[in-house]
Amino acid sequence: IASSARDTLYAYNPQELSNTAWSYAALAVTHTPLMEAISAAASARISEFDVQWLSTSAWAFALLRCRNTGHLLKAIAEESRGKMAAFDTRHLANTAWAFAVLNELHPPLMEAISAPARAKIARFRPQ
């Protein structure tokens, strides 16, 4: 399945890319060539990602501890900063968690997350 998907990823829309990454992460299946291909395809289309797909993609790569995807994480960070007003508490928490797990320091993103997080902190729930 992964090999077949890898050959067609550039035809996937952002939701399909995000959902594919999420599916492998949810199953705890690490397929490095597929995740690297998803990373490349997603990076090329990152401006089309909504906040759900940005957050889910970051979460999936972090859950699988994919470390060779710094270019995707940088793209997610930059795109997320411009869409921060649309992030709900789950998106904020999952994105911050993903960057922390992967030890990807992106101070502008963390600063952008902190402002709405402080405003929404009363609504945060443990996961």
The domain spans of the chain are 2-123
- pTM here? 0.89
Q: What is the pLDDT of residues 4-14, one digit of tens each?
A: 778 788 899 99
In the numeric block, which tokens belong to residue 100?
């922390």
- Does the CA dihedral 99-100-106-108 come out positive or negative? positive
Q: Quickly count: other Cβ atoms within 10 Å of residue 24's Cβ.
A: 23
DSSP state of 28: T
Q: What is the pLDDT of residues 60-90, one digit of tens each?
A: 999 999 987 779 999 999 999 999 999 998 9
Q: For residue 55, what are the contacts with CB-CB under 8 A and spacing of at least 6?
A: 80, 87, 90, 91, 94, 95, 98
